[in-house]
């Protein structure tokens, strides 16, 4: 193909990297090149170089870059200048792999480096002058929506089992038409290797899959090949997840916060595990675990059939959780959806000090009374005002007796 003059090639940071390492010794590769060829937004830019890691480090430091030894064993350093950073990896061969880690040797051969990569469109290299090196016709695959392994699919998977999930992630994002049959067969055949991956890596790939606008076809393939069951257990059902995704897609721009990958993941995993186990098993943050538990509690109140019920769910579990319960039930064209978007969740109008002013002694009894009053307030559909709540509290106060 003709030269590709990506705009980011001419940014000061990239030009400084090229000047430091030499235009003949560096090419850009990976997601930035792939996305640039699709005229998509480019974020992280990665490069490959024929320099040994020690030489790369020396040249970058001489040019004023801070250099972080990100993965020297595998030839990777990170160049930092101000707020900008770039990973730069020496051309290499994977000599020995165990499905997670590789022992490598360095090379100056760009084709040998390309052969050890995963998919054809991830082995497209872009030189600083815009010259494209595409040894496996990755750009043609990209345009056709084909996700193909480089060489033998089973060999690529045995080198790194994460490539199973990466195949489905890229198919969800770029795939069109039928998925590559050889790739699907290899992923299914080698699915037991997923157990060797860290759960954090599995979690991140699952989240990336469910983040694409419509992953339903990809999820169906994950189920059909037995990979979902390998990850989350035998109780696999896509019904809830698909129902929720369908509602998000139907709403489109009307959905205030856009795609919610954590909610999608919750409904994907729910047939096999409850919220607390999800959070623990996938090593989620405390905040994510709390969100999952609120989503679960709201879903347990489903189906939400009335505005009164929805307001109660929103107050108790938050807007995100209530919205999830509404959408999974398919309420996208009803007043319930508008209410979930627009209702301002109120704050309970009493505090403990209000009860102390009525004669309640400081201590646990105040908390219990606040809870009782709050429950009464919720049952009134939040209509009882502060004055009426104070009157109720006054009737029950110790001084009232």
Task: Report yes or no on 228 lying in a domain.
Answer: no
Same domain, 129 and 152: no
3-class SS at 197? Answer: coil
Instruction: State the Cα angle at 96 between 95 and 101, rounded to 5°.
Output: 115
Going through 12-61 in order, the beta strands assigned E by DSSP cover: 26-29, 46-49
- 25 found inside a domain: yes
Q: Is residue 224 part of a domain?
A: no
Q: Which domain holds residue 366?
A: 352-400
**Residues 392, 254 within the same domain:** no
Give the pLDDT confidence score for residue 393 in this predicted structure: 87
Do 14 and 98 share a domain, yes or no? yes
Q: Are residues 123 and 208 in the same domain?
A: no
Look at residues 126, 144, 162 and tell me which one is the last residue of a structural domain: 144
What angle is formed at CA 218 by the lines to CA 216 and CA 221, rounded to 5 degrees?
115
Mean pLDDT, the chain, whole residue set: 93
User: How many other C-beta atoms lie within 10 A of the C-beta of residue 365?
Assistant: 12
Q: Is residue 219 part of a domain?
A: no
Same-domain status, 34 and 129: yes
Residue 57's CATH number? 3.30.460.10
Asked whether residue 51 falls in the same domain as residue 126, the answer is: yes
Residue 220 falls inside a structural domain? no
Q: Which residues contact 108 (CB under 8 A, 6 or more apart)?
A: 50, 91
Region of residue 224 (phi > 0: left; psi between -120 and 50: alpha; otherwise: beta)? alpha
Are residues 45 and 84 both part of a single domain? yes
Q: Which residues of 40-55 are buried (b: 16+ CB within 10 A; e: fewer)?
A: eebeebbbbbbbebee
Judge if 171 and 116 occupy the same domain: no
2 lies in the same domain as 127: yes
Classify each residue of 247-274 as buried b or exposed e, where b means 16 or more C-beta atoms within 10 Å of its C-beta.
bbeebeeebeeebbbbbbbbbbbbbbbe
- Split into its structural domains, the chain has a count of 4
Residues 287 and 341 in one domain: yes
> Is there a domain that residue 230 lies in?
no
pLDDT in tens, 307-349: 999 999 999 999 999 999 999 988 877 888 999 999 999 999 9
pTM: 0.89
Q: Are 352 and 374 in contact (CB under 8 A)?
A: no
In a domain, 39, yes or no: yes
Q: For 210-261, write each residue's pLDDT tens digit.
A: 999 999 999 999 999 999 999 998 888 899 999 999 999 999 888 888 899 9
Extract the tokens encoding 361: 């002694």
Both tokens assigned to 63: 């040019």
Mean pLDDT computed over 390-401? 78
d(C-alpha 367, C-alpha 305), whole Å: 31
Instruction: Give the end-to-end CA distance of the chain in Å, rounded to a whole number.
Output: 90
Say whether both 80 and 159 belong to one domain: no
Question: How big is the CA angle at 88 (ends 71 and 3), to the nearest 5 degrees?
Answer: 155
Last residue of a domain, one of 95, 113, 144: 144
Asked whether residue 333 is assigned to any structural domain, the reply reads yes
Question: pLDDT for 106-143, tens place per residue?
Answer: 999 999 999 999 999 999 999 999 999 999 999 999 99
């Amino acid at each position: 193909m003709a030269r590709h003059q990506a705009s980011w090639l001419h940014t000061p940071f990239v030009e400084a990297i090229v000047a430091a390492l030499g235009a003949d010794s560096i090419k850009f590769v990976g997601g930035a090149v792939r996305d640039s060829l699709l005229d998509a937004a480019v974020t992280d830019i990665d490069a490959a170089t024929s320099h040994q890691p020690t030489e790369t480090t020396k040249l970058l430091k001489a040019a004023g870059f801070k250099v972080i030894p990100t993965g020297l064993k595998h030839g990777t350093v990170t160049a930092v200048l101000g707020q900008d950073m770039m990973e730069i990896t020496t051309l290499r061969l994977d000599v020995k792999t165990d499905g997670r880690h590789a022992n490598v040797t360095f090379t100056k051969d760009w084709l040998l480096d390309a052969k050890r990569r995963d998919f054809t469109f991830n082995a497209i290299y872009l030189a600083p002058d815009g010259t494209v090196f595409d040894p496996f016709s990755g750009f043609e695959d990209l345009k056709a929506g084909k996700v193909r392994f480089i060489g033998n699919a089973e060999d690529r998977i045995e080198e790194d089992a994460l490539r199973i999930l990466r195949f489905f992630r890229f198919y969800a994002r770029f795939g069109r038409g039928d998925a590559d049959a050889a790739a699907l067969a290899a992923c299914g055949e080698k699915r037991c290797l997923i157990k060797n991956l860290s759960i954090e890596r599995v979690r991140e790939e699952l989240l990336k899959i469910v983040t694409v606008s419509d992953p339903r076809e990809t999820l169906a393939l994950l189920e059909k090949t037995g990979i979902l069951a390998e990850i989350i257990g035998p109780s696999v059902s896509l019904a809830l997840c698909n129902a929720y995704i369908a509602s998000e897609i139907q709403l489109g721009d009307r959905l205030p916060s856009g795609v919610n990958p954590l909610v999608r993941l919750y409904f994907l995993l729910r047939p096999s595990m409850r919220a607390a186990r999800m959070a623990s098993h996938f090593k989620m943050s405390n905040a994510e675990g709390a969100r999952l538990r609120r989503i679960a509690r709201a879903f347990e109140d489903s189906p939400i059939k009335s505005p009164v019920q929805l307001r109660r769910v929103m107050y108790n579990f938050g807007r995100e959780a209530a919205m999830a319960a509404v959408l999974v039930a398919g309420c996208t064209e009803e007043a319930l959806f508008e209410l979930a978007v627009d209702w301002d969740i109120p704050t309970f109008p009493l505090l403990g000090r209000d009860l102390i002013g009525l004669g309640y002694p400081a201590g646990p009894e105040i908390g219990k009374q606040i809870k009782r009053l709050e429950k009464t307030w919720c049952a009134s559909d939040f209509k009882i005002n502060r004055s009426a709540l104070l009157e109720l509290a006054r009737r029950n106060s110790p001084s009232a007796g």
